[in-house]
Structure 1
């Protein structure tokens, strides 16, 4: 069951209305993000091992979600898992490097709707709950990921 708090509702509303629609596409391949100033979130997520466990759980939740599983039908799951691990590690302030394409490039032509994006957010929350990640840590990660909404959702 999805818990709603004021911060989560703000995040969901921001995602729904597209407030984070500024493009983050860099001139060259790669994710245009700057690692966090500190590694607080990285440590709170359990460092590499915790992030890997979260991403694995997340992929299982997606696999069981009829709303969006078809979006991943042709995705090379091993590569997807690797890039998600890199991305979350960098966003969390860990000692990682993201070697994948930009979010805009990866999602171009996929026709991802706000409903699809919101389902993915719900799946991430479910995975974080399964992994026992504290709610405040969940909110911090969701806030850092929310900026990619405009690069993922098809307009």
Structure 2
């Protein structure tokens, strides 16, 4: 079933939103969801994921809606950590060693609007990198469960 971008964004916002700033402070969760077969390859393997995360971080730190959440982050370290996280989640050989999302975001006052904004920025970066919509949905579906731990203001 193909899901429209706006509908899926609302669900998948949970996906990426502000999972990034926490990526440098704590150990990774012991388990991660199973990656869809071939997603790592569809994202261009590590070089493609690196380009995507470079673009994404450059965009997110400038976004007026959510850039403030990233003001303390070191962009290059953030890019590297997110690259490892997406690489691992998508079935690649990388090992994400960043923070668990719940404790990393506990004091960040993140609401659904922040989360939605981050997903929109990620989608824009994926569009700019030429990642097909179906592959975008596959990645967002892996990231979506993180919303429970990222959104702290309900």
TM-score by length of structure 2 reads: 0.82
Q: Is the 8 A contact 2:12 2:143 kept in 1?
A: no
Q: Show the counterpart of 2:32.
A: 33
Whole-angstrom CA distance in 2 between matches of 1:106 and 1:125: 23
What is the CA-CA distance between 1:37 and the residue it aligns to? 6.1
Q: Does 1:87 align with 2:106?
A: no
Conservation of the 8 A alpha-carbon contact between 2:36 and 2:90: no
- Give SS of 2:81's match: helix
1:53 aligns with 2:46: no
Kept in 2: contact 1:35–1:90 (CA 8 A) = no
Counterpart CA distance in 2 for 1:73 and 1:86 is: 21
Greater CA drift, 101-110 or 129-138: 101-110
**Shift of residue 34, structure 1, vs aligned partner:** 4.1
Q: 2: distance between equivalents of 1:33 and 1:141?
A: 13
Say if 1:11 and 1:146, in contact at 8 Å, map to a contact too: no
5+ residue gaps, structure 2: 15-25
**1:77 to partner: Cα distance:** 2.0
- State the Cα distance separating 1:124 from its structure 2 match: 0.2
1:106 counterpart = 2:90: no
1:12 corresponds to: 9
Map 1:62-141 onto structure 2 (within 5 A). Answer: 62-141=60-139
Change (3 A) 1:9 1:99: same
The TM-score, its normalising length taken from structure 1, stands at: 0.82
